[in-house]
Amino acid sequence: MQTNRREFLRSTFWMGAAAATAGITCGKARAEANCPSGSMMGWADKPFKTLRVGVVGLGRGALGLDLAKIPGVKITAVCDLNKARIDRALARCAKHANPAPRVFTGGQEEWKRMCDWDQVDLVYNGTPWELHAPIALYAMEHGKHVVIEVPSALTIDECWALVKTSERTRRHCMQLENCCYGETEMLALNMCRQGLFGTLVHGEGAYIHDLREYCYGKFDPEKGSGGYWDYWRMRYNREHGGNQYPTHGLGPICIDMDINRGDNFDYLVSVDSLQAGFQEYGKGKFGDGSQEASWKVKMADMNTTIVKTKLGRTIMVQHNITGPRPYSRINLISGTKGILQDYPLRIALETELGAGVHKYDDKVTAELRQKYRHPLWKTAGEYAKVHGGHGGMDFLMLLRLAWCLQMGLPLDMNVYDLAAWCSLNELTERSAANRGRSMDVPDFTGGAWKTQKPWGFDDVDLAKMGLDLKVPKA
Ligand SMILES: NC(=O)c1ccc[n+]([C@@H]2O[C@H](COP(=O)([O-])OP(=O)(O)OC[C@H]3O[C@@H](n4cnc5c(N)ncnc54)[C@H](O)[C@@H]3O)[C@@H](O)[C@H]2O)c1
């Protein structure tokens, strides 16, 4: 990759150290109370009647393209290095009557030209990890709001640079943590907000997903399919330990626990297991003596981290992509009056099952699941299942993003959420490399977490958005 990340970050980071305090625009009254001077807490831009989106990185999911299904949103630009993927993106836009987007391709830094273009309001960054922060920083410096795939930052320096640049430029910088919109995650959130689990004490999340085939797979440029483009993920896996993909499991628990809005991370400890899964797979599939078999991998088969919060709660987060384990994000949240955990879903509340509960009850779980379905899922869950991937959560995230920008509301997740969640990338690696030494987590909010109230993750009005609920078309 041509962009020298270190140079780029050095040049943008301290430029933003003195965040501008003037010109803060808060959306609604609720947001104003949440918008301290200079901070991006509760910040909202003017409503966008038409939202013009540039999508860079048109990979397997290319979730951002589904924004073309939402009235008032136009994909005006797409950027990628691969022709097959660009052609596929253009076909998807045409299918949704989105006029042909301008194509930026032909060089590693064509995304800069896209960010410079005045027909883009929002940059949707779905590139490999190492390009996340550089593109986001450049986009904000050039007046664009930016949303970034997970993990949006890989180092503490990147986290700070994104925070300071977002504050100074008054541009949104949101991490696209689609799992916060999962059906179970939102059920848990709804139950937490109603206090049904009592005082929250502990959460557990994970990214357990067998990615051996993808990570070792070869990308086919003709078809635009196969493994990850240019082995980008495997390269990172080979060079780093710790939890490289913490946010799918962690993000929803942070929303439940009001991290950055009443509570905050304090410190963490992290331990890596040995690495055997990738090495054995490489040898088994490609044979001794092959290039793949010779790859040394730093990433552990299992990384386990415990984060302690300022209010004394604990969050356990795991990462495992190298073995034959069925997919799981764990999704466990527990308090003084009950617990919810997933894979499969089980819920126990003292109010339903009495004190001294020892067993889950499938019937009670089914009833509670129905009763406390999140309002957003009631409104748009079935619609989202038809229109987007990952069981509907991808499209719900896009719906909320479009709704907030169209209504001039703060986004559900802001740059402080991004920074706190992504800080685990570097901190877990450093802790695990030092026998699980405790690492302090920076307070990216500058103390604002103490006075913030939870917001966001509300409903949308599909009719007001011009979406016809009765005619779900993929
Ligand atoms: N939230 C989720 O559920 C989810 C799911 C899949 C992937 N992701 C994230 O999405 C991102 C991409 O993953 P993927 O699976 O699509 O990877 P991929 O390898 O399939 O696609 C990456 C794309 O980026 C393009 N690209 C690389 N360098 C570029 C450059 N300089 N300019 C323009 N385009 C460039 C490649 O040509 C390729 O099309 C990653 O951050 C990943 O973590 C998130």
DSSP letters along 166-196, please? HHHHT--EEE--GGGGSHHHHHHHHHHHTTT
* Residue 276's pLDDT band (cuts 50, 70, 90): very high
Pocket perturbation via mutation, ligand 1, pick of 3, 60, 123 by most ligand atoms within 8 A of CB: 60
Alpha carbons 120 and 54: distance in angstroms, whole number = 6
By alpha-carbon position, which residue is closest to atom 34 of ligand 1?
80
Phi, psi for residue 245 in degrees, rounded to 5: -145, 65
Q: Which of 269-273, 275-279, 361-365, 456-460 has the lowest mean pLDDT?
A: 456-460
* Smallest CA separation from ligand 1 atom 9, residue: 149
Mean pLDDT calculated for residue range 92-108: 95
62 Cα–ligand 1 center, Å:
8
Ranges of beta strands (E only) in 399-449 are 439-440
Q: In this predicted structure, what is the pLDDT of residue 23? A: 31
Chain centroid, CA 321 distance in Å:
18
pLDDT, position 388:
86
The pLDDT-based confidence of 34 (bands split at 50, 70, 90) is low
- pLDDT tens column, 135-169: 999 999 999 999 999 999 999 999 999 999 999 99
Note the maximum CA span of the chain. 65
Residues contacting ligand 1 via CB (< 6 Å): 56-61, 79-82, 85, 108, 111, 126-129, 131, 149-150, 178, 228-229, 232, 390
Count Cβ atoms below 10 Å from residue 312 Cβ, excluding itself.
9
* Mean pLDDT of the region 220-226: 95
- Of all protein residues, the one whose alpha carbon is nearest to atom 33 of ligand 1 is 80
Segment 119-124 mean pLDDT: 98
Centre of ligand 1 to C-alpha 58, Å, is 6
**Residue 58: pLDDT above 60?**
yes
- The pLDDT assigned to 265 comes to 98
Ligand 1 atom, smallest distance to 1 CA: 31
Q: What is the pLDDT of residue 456?
A: 85
**What pLDDT band is residue 355 in, cutting at 50, 70 and 90?**
confident
**Band of pLDDT at residue 466, cut at 50, 70 and 90:** very high
pLDDT band at 60 (very low <50, low <70, confident <90, very high): confident
Residues 147 and 128: their CA atoms lie apart, in Å, by 14
pLDDT interval class at 357 (50, 70, 90): confident
User: Of 255, 8, 3, whose CA–CA distance to 140 is shortest?
Assistant: 8
Q: How far apart are CA 137 and CA 163, in angstroms?
A: 10
**Measured on CA atoms in the order 115, 117, 123, 129, is the torsion positive or negative?**
negative
Contacts of 6 (CB under 8 A, 6+ apart): none
Tell me the two tokens of residue 28.
């609604």
Asked if 303 and 270 count as a contact pair (C-beta separation under 8 A), the reply is: yes
Nearest alpha carbon to residue 397 among 188, 248, 181, 190: 181
Q: Looking at the predicted structure, is the pLDDT value of residue 5 above 90?
A: no
Determine the angle formed by the axes of helices 132-141 and 156-169, rounding to 10 degrees: 20
- If you count them, how many residues does the chain have? 474
pLDDT average, residue stretch 362-377: 97
Identify the structural domains of the chain with CATH numbers, from first to last: 5-176 (3.40.50.720), 180-450 (3.30.360.10)
pLDDT of 398 above 60:
yes
- Protein residue whose Cα sits closest to atom 21 of ligand 1: 59
> What's the pLDDT at 353?
86
Average pLDDT, stretch 89-95?
95
| 26: pLDDT strictly greater than 60 | no
Residue 402 CA from chain centroid, whole number: 16
Q: Is the pLDDT of residue 36 over 70?
A: no
Q: Is 358 exposed, middle or buried (0-12, 13-18, 19+ CB in 10 A)?
A: exposed
Q: Considering the chain, what is the average pLDDT of its residues? A: 92
Calculate mean pLDDT across residues 255-266. 98
Nearest atom (ligand 1) to Cα of 229: 19
Terminal alpha carbon distance of the chain:
35
Question: What's the predicted TM-score (pTM) here?
Answer: 0.93
